[in-house]
Chains A and B, each alone.
Chain A
Amino acid sequence: MLFSMNAIVPLACVTAAALAAMVAEAFRTPGERMPIAPLGLIGLVAAGIATVLLWGHGYVSFNVVAGDDFGLFVTGVLVVIGLLTIAFSPATIEREQLPAGEYYALTLFAIAGMILMAQATDLLVIFLALEVLSLSVYVLTGIRRDSRAASEASFKYFLLGAFSSAFFLYGIALTYALTGSTHLDRVGQLIAGHTFGSGAMETFAVGLLAVGFAFKVSAVPFHMWAPDAYEGAPPVVTGFMATGVKAAAFAAFVRVFMSAFGPLSAIWVPVLWGLAVATMILGTVVGVMQTNVKRLLAYSSIAHAGYLLVGMVSANAVGRAAVLFYLLAYGVTNVGAFGVLALLESKDRPNDELRDLAGLWNVRPGLAALMTVFLLSLGGFPPLAGFIGKWFIFTAAIQSGYYGLAIIGVLTSVVSVFFYLRIVVMMYMTEPEPGRAPLSAPIVPRLAGAALGLATIVVFYLGILPTQLIDLATQSVARIF
């Protein structure tokens, strides 16, 4: 193992950008406009370039940060999510008069935490990364301080998040008690070399870690915080939360459970199987009943966590690659959908009720068309990214013999199409209610327009020519597990 600092370069780029944003804000005179968003974009692009350059080298820094292809793939996904999020943010900041420096600094710190979580190979560092990203996201959720809903959402998220951190930490403590180490490689070796069976201590360790992760990926029954937090946060932040946090948490989830706790799969596979089924079904069924678009997308993101869990339960090479591919497809699509919602928001009303979208086609055909693309991709229509992602996941499940999971997955996807199409129908075929003021045509800033265009291109590209990325995903899991 070569000691080198290379593996932390993407992380360092994003952290530096976050610090730069803070310093810039400190030197800003009140009322002065400062291009803080470009600072973030530069940091993220640098991180992206570093990720590409590091690909395939397998550097390890400080013995705890792995620059392996698995971590780098997720880092790439996170960089894309971060770029889109920052590109959508200026409109929201302007409208809500949010503190720009702090907003970008916290967003970038959250991305740094996510990248670290995807790359860390030590439970202790994973926990620290989890806390960095969670703390940033709690604050971002409540950053609209004059909104009661935002404060409530932030507080709920914070309290439940603190609980889940405690679970996670206790799981780490038990793992340490069991193996005398928190390093995943060492834990894996000791567990593999030892016939622990399924004693109480390892069951508890695995179970507590699973609870911690399940909370962060909002798997049922640990999803309670998600709809409220997603509804209360500004749409840009919601999109960021629903994708970035999930991607980072799933990366660590896969790494911890499939490398270190792989030999104990007899304990955790049934548990995750149950979580996956409950998550897919509840997310879809409750989603059908929502009338608020943000809540609806919140339940949709819960259901998507269920599909990702199916990929994990399959526990084969295809399943792991499918999880990676799905994270990218789902991440880009969902950030795009929330980006459109963020642009539709106006100062006097959030425009996030289903009926607010009525007649969007007449006012803003472009936004309506893009929203349709994202929603159909979330629903898994060909030839869009979501379709390939789901197909890939269910293939993995069938290859491992989990026919039941695959069938439930397909059925819930079909049901979920109903609520995605409901939004589409609303946008195209429904007239605005007579008593309600019609949707004002929002101004789309150039940066946000470019980001929407990029997201759409990626969604189509992944849907039509997925082979290249599927190969990349397959390669990146092949080398480490």
Chain B
Amino acid sequence: MPDQILFYLLGGLAVVASVLVIGQRNPIHSVLLLIASFAGLSGLYVLLQAPFVAVIQIIIYAGAIMVLFLFVVMLLNVGREDTDVDEQSPVFVHRVSMRVGALLAGLLVVELVWALASAGTLGGVFGPMSQAPPAVTSVRTIGHALFTDYAFAFEVTSILILVAMVGAVVLARREAK
């Protein structure tokens, strides 16, 4: 029972935050609300016994990618979303984009209904879905694989990141003169 309450709380947080994201005039508020939505999703992953995905969700999406978004928004210095363009564009364009949007939304609803209705019987690419043992996705297993089978790849990644850093410095630094 507490699981269900938590599910509805977190799911509700994700849905409400997502809806608010598109309702904002200020892009920075949108980005911050998106982070809230990701936090909700991350909580759902924990409920699904996938703690690793949950942590990754926070670190990569809420951490790295959202910071990138914020930077871009701030660098572009977009104070408020400019809606003038939409209002000035010809009615025809407006209508076409509305219709395409409505069509896509309709498709999404149909797909969701179909997927939910057949959730029990649906099979994956590799035969019917089975209850995967939770151990597979645990941080422990992934860490073990990362530092044994993939130890070399892990080390090469550090070189890759170093190269990216050197490259960024070379291309972006200001001339000393």
Which residues of chain A have a CB within 8 Å of any CB of chain B? 15, 22, 30, 61-65, 99, 102, 105-106, 109, 112-113, 116, 122, 124-125, 128-129, 131-132, 135-136, 138-139, 142-143, 145, 154, 177
CB-CB under 8 A from A154, the residues of chain B are 171
Q: Whole-angstrom distance between the alpha carbons of A65 and B153 in the complex?
A: 10
Find chain B residues with CB under 8 A from A64 CB: 152-153
Beta-carbon contact of A109 and B152 below 8 Å: no
Minimum CB distance partner of A201 in chain B: B125
A-B contact pairs, 11 of them (CB 8 A): A63-B152, A99-B170, A102-B166, A109-B163, A112-B159, A113-B163, A124-B153, A131-B160, A132-B163, A135-B167, A136-B163
Contact: B170 with A135, CB < 8 Å? no
Contacts of A142 in B (CB 8 A): 171
> Cβ of B151 and Cβ of A62 under 8 Å apart?
yes
Residues of A within 8 A of B169 (CB): 102
Q: Any chain A CB within 8 A of the CB of B97?
A: no
Give CA–CA (A242, B2) in the complex, Å. 63
Question: Contact partner of B167 among A22, A116, A136, CB < 8 A?
Answer: A136
Known: A62-B152, A124-B150. 5 other contacts (CB 8 A): A106-B163, A113-B163, A116-B156, A135-B163, A145-B175
**B170, A139: Cβ atoms closer than 8 Å:** yes
List, in ascending order, chain B residues with CB within 8 A of A143's CB: 170
Task: Verify B153–A138 contact, CB threshold 8 A.
Answer: no
In whole angstroms, what is the CA distance A306 to B72 when docked? 42
A430 vs B40: C-alpha distance when bound (angstroms): 74
In angstroms, how far is the closest chain A Cβ from the Cβ of B124? 11
Residues 148-177 of chain B, each 1 if its beta carbon lies under 8 Å from chain A, else 0:
011111001101101110110111000110
C-alpha spacing A139/B160, complex, angstroms: 13
Q: Are B152 and A135 in contact (CB under 8 A)?
A: no
- For residue B151, which residues in chain A have a CB less than 8 angstroms away from its CB? 62
**By the criterion CB–CB under 8 Å, are A15 and B159 in contact?**
yes
Q: How far is the CB of A345 from chain B (nearest CB, A)?
A: 20
Contacts of B164 in A (CB 8 A): 135
A151 to chain B, nearest CB (A): 9
Interface residue count on the B side (C-beta < 8 Å): 20
A455 to chain B, nearest CB (A): 27
Q: Which of A15, A63, A102, A128 contacts B170 (CB 8 A)?
A: A102
Tell me how far the C-beta of A2 lies from the nearest C-beta in chain B, rounded to whole angstroms.
16
Question: Considering only CB atoms, which chain A residue lies closest to B169 in the complex?
Answer: A102
Contact A106 B153 (CB under 8 A): no
Binary CB contact string for chain B from 119 to 136 against chain A (1 if under 8 A, 0 otherwise): 000000100000000000
CA–CA, A332 to B67, complex, Å?
46
CA distance A112 to B163 in the complex (A): 11
Interface of B is mostly: helix
**Given A128-B160, A132-B160, A135-B160; A105-B152 close (CB under 8 Å):** no
**B10: min CB distance to chain A, Å:** 29
- The residue on A at minimum CB distance from B175 is A145
- Known contacts: A105-B166, A106-B166. The answer to whether A125 contacts B156 by CB under 8 A is yes
Closest A-B pairs by Cβ, 6 of them: A139-B167, A62-B152, A128-B156, A102-B170, A135-B163, A109-B163
The distance in angstroms between the C-alpha atoms of A170 and B162, with both chains bound, is 24
Whether A122 pairs with B170 at a CB distance below 8 angstroms is no
Known: A102-B166, A136-B167. A125 touches B159 (CB 8 A): no
- Chain A residues contacting B153 (CB-CB under 8 Å) are 64, 122, 124-125, 128
Most buried by A among B153, B175, B176: B153
Instruction: Report how far A15 CA is from B169 CA in the complex, Å.
Output: 19
- A22 in contact with B166 given A61-B152, A64-B152, A125-B152 (CB within 8 Å): yes
How far is A180 from B87 in the complex, measured between Cα atoms in Å?
Answer: 52
B97 to chain A, nearest CB (A): 27
Q: CA A65 – CA B152 in complex, angstroms? A: 9
Kindly list chain B residues whose C-beta atoms are within 8 Å of the C-beta of A109.
Answer: 159, 162-163, 166
Docked Cα-Cα span, A284 to B162, in Å, equals 39
Query: With a CB–CB cut-off of 8 A, which chain A residues contact B157?
Result: 128
Cβ–Cβ contact A145 & B160, under 8 A: no
Nearest B-chain residue to A129, judged by Cβ: B156
Question: Shortest Cβ distance from A235 into chain B, in angstroms?
Answer: 19
| Measured CA separation A122–B152 after assembly (Å) | 11
Give the interface centre of B125, B150, B164, B166 by most chain A CB atoms within 10 Å: B166
Q: Are B167 and A30 in contact (CB under 8 A)?
A: no
Most chain-A Cβ atoms within 10 A of its Cβ — which of B151, B156, B171?
B156
- Cα A367 to Cα B160 with chains together (Å): 38
B contact residues around A30 at 8 Å (CB): 176
- Residues A106 and B152 in contact in the complex (CB < 8 Å), given A128-B157, A128-B160: no
CB-nearest residue of chain B to A109: B163
Output the least CB separation between A125 and chain B (Å).
5
| Partner of A132 from B149, B156, B170 at Cβ < 8 Å | B156
Rounded to whole angstroms, the CA-CA distance of A129 and B156 in the bound complex is 8
Can you name the residue of chain B whose Cβ is closest to the Cβ of A138? B167
In the complex, what residues of B have CB within 8 A of residue A62's CB? 151-152
B126 to chain A, nearest CB (A): 8
Chain B residues near A145: list those with CB within 8 A: 171, 175
Instruction: From the candidates B150, B156, B160, B170, name the one contacting A106 in the complex (CB within 8 A).
Output: B170
Q: Give the residue name and chain of the A residue nearest to B154 (CB).
A: A128
Taken together as a complex, chains A and B put the C-alpha atoms of A22 and B162 apart, in Å, by 11
- Residues of chain A contacted by B125 (CB below 8 angstroms): 177
